[in-house]
Amino acid sequence: MSYPPADDRLRHLIAQQVNCDVDTWKLAFWIANGIVKCPEIRAEFRRIEAAHAAGQPCGDRNCDTCFAAQFATPTQENPA
């Protein structure tokens, strides 16, 4: 069985990150649980991914995808 589990990967990834800053894994997992179940956060993930899929910047200042795109070399198929 792989870790994190495929059907609960997002929650485990968030908990791993939060765990660096809190005292217990239980607390990290509790915080991660609230994040993955938050409709506003899930909607924002969908909005960001839809923008990227359409080739548009998502507008989030923390977005690594858009940051990397600023430095991508334009090609003939995809001129700047």
Q: Cα(63)–Cα(77) distance, rounded to whole angstroms?
A: 24
Beta-carbon count within 10 A of 30 CB: 13
* Cβ–Cβ under 8 Å, residues 69 and 57: yes
Does position 65 bind Zn ion by CB under 5 A? yes
Choosing from 33, 36, 66, 80, the residue that interacts with Zn ion (CB under 5 A) is 66
Choosing from 18, 35, 58, 74, the residue that interacts with Zn ion (CB under 5 A) is 58
Residue 39 or 55 with smaller CB distance to Zn ion? 55
Residues that bind Zn ion (CB under 5 A): 58, 63, 65-66
